[in-house]
Structure formats: C-alpha cells, structure tokens
Amino acid sequence: MSEALVTVADVMIANAVCVPPDATVGGASDLMLEHRLAGLPVVDEHRVVGLVGAPQLLGQPPDRTVADVMVTPLVCATPDLSVVQAHTMVMGQHVEMLPVVLDGRLVGQVSLVAILQAKSQQTDPLTGLPWATALRAWAAAELTQGHELAMVFVDLDNFGAVNKALGHVVGDDVLRSVASLLSAALNVETDLLCRYGGDEFAIATTRRDTDARALAAHVQERTVVRGRRR
C-alpha cells in the first residue's frame, strides 16, 4: 500500500487571521505576535491581494500601511495541493507562508515550517528528493489543469556492482551525486524529480515533446560525462 499523500489541508491553519491593505505595519506586527503566525494574508473585499511577514514589516514605520510593504502579486495555495508542490511555491516566491484559498476565498494559511515538517515525511532522507507518491500527486494536479505530461526515467547501470565492490557508503554517495546532477538540470516551474526506486529516478515534466526529449538527452549527457570524469 502506498503512503498516504500529505496535502496543504492536512497542515494548514484554518480560518486564518488576515489584514486589509489599509492596516498599519504596527497593527499587523501585533496580530502576528498575538497569534504566533509567520505572516498574514492581505485581503481586500474577500480577495487575497498579498501577504506580509517579518521580512516586510521589520524596520518599517509603525504607521505605514500594509499595502506599501506587502508581497504582491502572489500565487496562493489550495487545500488539495501536495506539500511538495506547496514547498516549491513558497521557495519560488521567497515567502515564509502561503494563504490558502478555495473558490477564490481565503480558508487558511500554511507556514514554511509546517510544509517542511510534513514534506520530510514524504522525502527520501538519503537524496532529499520526494518519493514517487509526490510525483504522482504533482502529475495529477498538472493533468487536472489541462497540461500534457512527459516522463523521463533514469536507471543507473551496474549500480549493484558498485555496492558490491566498493560498499554501500560509496553507493549512497553515488546516489546523492546523481540526485544533485539531475536537480541542477531541471526547472522547478516545469519539472519534478523524485527517487523512484533503489537506483531509479523519475522526472515528470510539462515541457513540450521536443523540449522533453531535449531534457532527456541533456540528463543522459550530464550523467554519462560526469560519471566518466569520476
């Protein structure tokens, strides 16, 4: 049985505290401290228009308005989003939390800390990559949005011989190196890499067919050439 997928709904704070754009920096700071939050969604007429956190509030005059310092534009999370996808969104936008919306309305918020804690449960501790469950969730979400997908599978030849001849410590180092090489070749906006099995990796991508084939060739070239240099 596959591991249950952890989604934003599992780790978010429901009924999130929010502020309007004309709230003051001082008022927003007080709310964050009172509720022990990493940030606050900024909501204007039931629509999320930005967010503020410590990086935006620190050093600002207390009477300055939130609208002057908030992060915008902002891509919000949805409750059904996997924590792996949410992590990509947080890191890509350089924020400490994400508002969670459903049908255009704010229903909660999720912090980077909560995402990281949940993500660690679905991540291979050796390579730091998500397992195949996360890839399946990512692929399902992309298909739901009407995106076509391509898959690239990477299987290390004769990996068993490496473990047998040099030991598992060296084998683990090889797996980490391959994970690093593959990650460096990808674009987080279009690709997701996971550890698929013992010596297998998989990449799901929304790139067009020609670009997906070019990605596969690039991955093969990087791993073969780098492997020979070692």
Q: How many CA atoms lie within 13 A of 108 on its CB side?
A: 14
Query: Tens of pLDDT along 155-178?
Result: 988 888 888 888 989 999 999 999
Residue 2's pLDDT is 41
Rg (CA), the chain: 21
Query: Tens of pLDDT along 139-155?
Result: 877 887 788 999 999 99
Q: Point out the least confidently predicted range of 16-25, 55-64, 120-129.
A: 120-129
212 close to 152: Cβ distance less than 8 angstroms: yes
Give me the amino acid identity at 51.
L
Query: Tens of pLDDT along 174-215?
Result: 999 999 999 888 887 889 899 988 899 999 999 999 999 999
> What is the spatial distance between Cα 186 and Cα 219, in angstroms, rounded to a whole number?
9
What is the sign of the dihedral through the CA atoms of 92, 126, 142 and 109?
A: negative
Tokens of 30: 């007080």
Which domains does the chain possess? 8-119 (3.10.580.10), 123-229 (3.30.70.270)
* Residue found by looking up tokens 């449960």 in the block: 121
Report the Cα–Cα distance between both ends of the chain, in Å, rounded: 38
